[in-house]
Structure 1
Amino acid sequence: MRSRSTKHIPFLAVTCFVLTACGIHPLPDDVTGLSTYNIVRQIRCETRQAVIDSLFTYLTSEANHDAGKVDDRSRQIGLSFQQLYNTNPQTIRQFKPDALSGFSKVVIGLLWSTGIAYNFDLNMVIVNNVDPSMKILRTLPQSGFSLGLQGSFDRQRGNERSFTVTDNFGNLINKTDARYCKDKIVEANVVYPIAGKVGMERAVDDFLVLALFGNLAGSDSKDVTAVKGPPTMVDQLEFKTTVSGTVNPSVTFSPGGPDFHISEAALGVTNSRTDTHKLTVGLYLDTSGVKQIEKARADIFLGLITAAGGPAEQGAATAVDQFLKQKIFRGEN
């Protein structure tokens, strides 16, 4: 005959399985089905695709060409590589910024010179609470006596995994095999965001625009009014997901006679899992990129649109130029 404690083992096993809450060593795999390696791989591939999209958007945009931001030669190179890439993604590894000319060479050279670091802080906490209760009743001829008993068996386990991965935009394109990212470009995951698309395209575009047109500075100076160091930008994303559930099966008996009997019994099971994931992304321009920016900034701030007329006309042209500068990587005509 099985003991009373073993009768509940199948039930508890099912509860733990449903809530993924009985792991001794909590990991992202438990909920997403993705290993830490594959989470990193997806975000690296999302970044690589964002860089490729920015490259093609900038070079092939008709608006950029008409505004003088991309010359004829550079646009033709962009269109050719875009067509090749759509047919065979491996061909993008043959792209070289030195083949470009004019302002296009500066912009894509900046793209190639950008480094990126991803710091992952994955924190997972599991709570398993078992709170059984029992009511004992003794029925007498003219009265009754009852006794309530309650116990608890509460457990909590956690794991924090932290590490940093680094990349270079040029290497992501030229040295990363396209097969590495096959089927790794996924959609946003609203339930478990770290396992889906996290929005790297905006981080890439905003860094490039700020570095080119916003006089983005480094972070190595304590004096915020002093512009020192290579352009740097950091985004910190935080995602928190909590999964919880309660199971409280109970049994009610109809005792009779003068002896003590169990009149009610309940098994309160509460399981929860809270995952807090932080992704800190840092973008940094290396020395060669800084030199390109310094050489080009005079032309950048003079404006890329040539307009004739008086102060009013020139002012209007400058306003248009500033507006178009914000869109050079977004493909809007």
Structure 2
Amino acid sequence: MTSFKKKLDEEIGEAPRFTKALQERIVHRAEQQQHPKQNSSWQYPTIIVGAIVTLLFLIAVGPWQRTEYVQHASIVELAQNEEIQQLSIVQNWDEDSFNAGRTGWIIGQQEYLKGADTKLLESILQKAVVAQKSDDYYVVRDFWIEFSNGQAVKLKMLKNNEQIAFLDVKTNQFYKVNDEEAVSVFTDFPFKEGVFKSTGLLILMVLFVVIFFVGWVAERVVRWKFNIPKEPKYVNISHQRTVYIFKLVGFIMLSIFNIKNWFIYIAADFTLILVSMLLLLAIEYYFGRHEKRHYLALTTTIFLFIVFIAFVIWV
């Protein structure tokens, strides 16, 4: 009876149901689940670095880096012997940069296929003559031209009162057009004003405010729908460190894009947004999936892509 009473007391009586060693193991296991191992939590900074390297590789081998030049005598001979198949035009007053490129890859450029517009450019180039470069001319537009033989050239159009000239970016050869009638016809070419200039600063500011407001409403709706808490902002220290590294790398990438002038390339912007949003989605899912925090990252990703596609179509 005494033996039975002792066992009963150990199970449901005054004696603890769990030994001290067992309690310590349970607490230790719970702490491990709440605070992932350091090596595990640092896998996402590694992923971020790998993704950025991939992004730089894609940009380095992208279509905007293709060698578009082969040896050619002059643009006059090309215009006389070949037809223009594709033409891209961008307003640009900077003599040291070139912002036009292959059709479909540059934001905001005017693009023309073979037709009356390309014939007009062929005509004006046929009347151009090699001349000494003059400082009296100023740059107004960039021309990216692909001829029927596959050759592509980059020209800068310059103006001086009623005269126009062209500068071959590759060969640095200067061409002047002395035919006043041809210049007059070409000057009347319906070049569009830049979409930002024609739209106006006030309308652009209103659009940015509308986009910001819609994004803010979408975030509030998702938080309310799935009961996602706003605070605490970070699940743990590892989450905070990973987000800080993500923001630092993002700032570095934006700086590189600005220095290299990569923002004009649609493919580069799309790749940057895609890589950044996928990384953000992965981080939020890893650290906050129990609170469904990744739903916010997914909402942001979808919203940004909709805005980006609409922007590309608009410009």
TM-score range, shorter chain: under 0.3
- Structure with the higher fraction of residues in strand conformation: 1
Specify which structure has the bigger relative contact order, considering alpha-carbon pairs within 8 angstroms and separated by 6 or more residues. 1
Question: What TM-score, normalized by structure 1, do the two folds share?
Answer: 0.21
